[in-house]
Structure 1
């Protein structure tokens, strides 16, 4: 692997006063362990983010279709900002056109329905980032309903969480670094949560992931995360991923609150 890529994981092993020197106990094997931990964490997160993204596509398209109609995503009246709606619609149309050759269900609608693509079909060619922007600009009543019925949180929190997780998903998909790196978009948290952990690091994303998973999905996620932490805990500095000392208790508490 690229030396520059690997050396980024060694920054936390440097002496804070003299960064030309490594701290006592630092080793090449420990450096590799941090790299491997980060790699496996990305693999774990992208798997559960896929689950969240697919579920959110379903909820959003269902509510838009049932409230406004199959092609209502084209109507600016169903969105807050007309300019953002036009930009999103242009982006979606480009995504649909690009998908004609690779997605049979898109070509099917061109051949049989004059290219009229209903929302539940169109949304299947959209990336996480597009979903986040679509939801942010959606009619406020619909946003509130989706956030309350499916996720039991105020919509302002869900807006923030989707933006955070969209960025984390991109980091994972492009093999970026999560260890000792601040989140680009800090998620909005409730006051009690802000007292318990920092929303600038990876744990904040992990926490909101757990909030958005179902009870069974959350249980599997915690089990996999615990196994990963146990494998590398001797090499980790938990402050560099924002994990509080009672991290597993906090995540388990979310799971136990779900029906």
Structure 2
């Protein structure tokens, strides 16, 4: 273990450091403004493609600050595009699970531990929903106390404000209105789960038949949809934390069709492509056409690359001929 000794340096010192490392900075004032809002540390991963490997962070000849900011802007656009699609898929997933499980097993189906595998953390699911209702009730009580302290406000107006506050979320409304069952119905509870929790819930359903019926709404085999939900959860977390997505390896190998019974790019039958962002884009392209048949999301993907022609598609796992694939048309 080593002793950390790197000093904290201000923006002007950061610019001088980059220049000493060989980075061309034609407009130092503009570069300073960029570093004031995007930290040097956050920008570091976007420097690496322009640095000489093993040469103490030296930049290759001709590398400029604009290259870094341009790549950063591309990654930001990519994350926003991915998040836009994942939002649609996540909302659809909640509806698909609710629309199957509710009518089949009842409004409070998720309370029944028998509907889940033995290793599924059912108690944790219930505590998540319970905590949400408790937090909402505490917030409501604090808001009511503030309403009571309002000067020159009539008792009638105070009552109206309290009623209005009680309806600001369903979790709050349910806890204030119903005593049995303790927790809200399934269609509301699912809305309180994160994408990760929703993915685990789907994988934790005890009956293959239930997972199969839900997956059929996306015209996918259930093992594939289960794996995709997990992969998209990881992608969503990367985007939500504004982390680098552009050339990242996913760290997992999602399930992919060996021989698809649906439209799917041939290039993704080759294992070397299934750990980069291209596989996420393909999953989202397929799923977006299921949840929104008139979507133009795939055209927006192409448009983004047209705006950033200098960004390498290869490092993201995109094959050279991906634009001509009917899957992306």
TM-score, with length taken from structure 2: 0.70
Which residue among 223, 230, 240 is the counterpart of 2:299? 223
Cα root mean square deviation, aligned: 2.2
Would you say 1:253 and 2:318 are equivalent positions?
Answer: no
Cα drift, residue 158 of structure 1: 0.8
Would you say 1:179 and 2:246 are equivalent positions?
Answer: yes
Cα drift, residue 54 of structure 1: 0.6
Cα drift, residue 46 of structure 1: 0.9
Would you say 1:58 and 2:134 are equivalent positions?
Answer: no
Structure 1 consecutive aligned stretches of length 4 or more whose deviation exceeds 6 Å: none
Q: Which has the higher helix share?
A: 1
Cα drift, residue 237 of structure 1: 1.6
Which residue among 204, 207, 212 is the counterpart of 1:144? 212
Other-structure match for 2:283: 208
Q: Of the two structures, which has the highest relative contact order with CA contacts closer than 8 Å and spacing of 6 or more?
A: 1
C-alpha distance in structure 2 between counterparts of 1:217 and 1:40, whole Å: 23
Say whether the 8 Å CA contact 1:210–1:218 is kept in structure 2: no
- Residues 219 and 23 of structure 1: CA distance in aligned 2, closer, same or farther (over 3 Å): farther
C-alpha distance in structure 1 between counterparts of 2:294 and 2:44, whole Å: 33
C-alpha distance in structure 2 between counterparts of 1:217 and 1:30, whole Å: 37
C-alpha distance in structure 2 between counterparts of 1:82 and 1:188, whole Å: 22
Say whether the 8 Å CA contact 1:65–1:72 is kept in structure 2: yes
Cα drift, residue 243 of structure 1: 1.3
Cα drift, residue 78 of structure 1: 0.7
| Number of residue equivalences | 252
5+ residue gaps, structure 1, are none
Bigger CA radius of gyration: 2
C-alpha distance in structure 2 between counterparts of 1:53 and 1:88, whole Å: 18
Cα drift, residue 110 of structure 1: 2.0
